[in-house]
Amino acid sequence: MTVWSAQDRRDQPEGRITTMLPDWSMAPLVEALRTIRGIDLISSVTFVAEVGDLSRFETPRQLMAYLGLVPSEQSSGTRIRRGGITRAGNGEARRMLAAWSYRYQPRVASGKTDVVERQPKPVRDIAWKAQVRLCGRYRKLAAGEKKPTLVVARELSGFIWAIGQTVRPAMLQA
């Protein structure tokens, strides 16, 4: 009995989000971001709610900086030294980037095929290109000394930016 009530409490917010999503102006962007591996309904809604309209960022680097996925830098005169990724940006949005899901081979999960098929071809192409690149990148970095999740999250934000440029929120389409 306790397990069932806990499952009901877990499922209630997702049910409410599902019923409210069609009326939200950002719904097209939320649905498009769901085509990316590791991002589903809750993470997509949270990311879009935290970041807003992705077309406000002129370049992917601006989005990466907003998320805190840029290398630190110590400069003095002509000397420039770059360090690790700062993580000084929007932590909640950055947490929604499930970079660890790229440990596995590229594929579309059986439960995600209907979400992917509903999107236009340019969005599907970006999502697949991201998956192929980031799966290989994760494995290559895991073999070295870099933290693969941070580097992959940085590149993933670039692919998210590209989808945000392709799919505009409903209020901006008119």
Per the structure, the count of domains in the chain is: 1
Mean pLDDT of 116-142: 95
Of all residues in the chain, the percent with pLDDT exceeding 90 is: 62
Residue 18, Ramachandran bin (φ over 0: left; ψ between -120 and 50: alpha; else beta): alpha
Q: Decide if pLDDT at 174 tops 60.
A: no
**Host domain of residue 73:** 23-171
14 is a domain residue: no
11 is a domain residue: no
Beta strands, E only, the chain: 71-76, 79-85
108 is a domain residue: yes
Q: pLDDT tens digits for 89-117?
A: 888 998 999 888 999 999 998 889 999 99
Tell me if residue 71 falls in helix, strand or coil: strand
Q: Is 81:75 a contact under the CB 8 Å cutoff?
A: yes
12 is a domain residue: no
CA separation for the pair 64, 94 (Å, rounded):
9
Alpha-carbon torsion angle 121, 124, 126, 127, nearest 10: 180
39 is a domain residue: yes
What pTM did the predictor assign? 0.87
7 is a domain residue: no
45 is a domain residue: yes
97 is a domain residue: yes
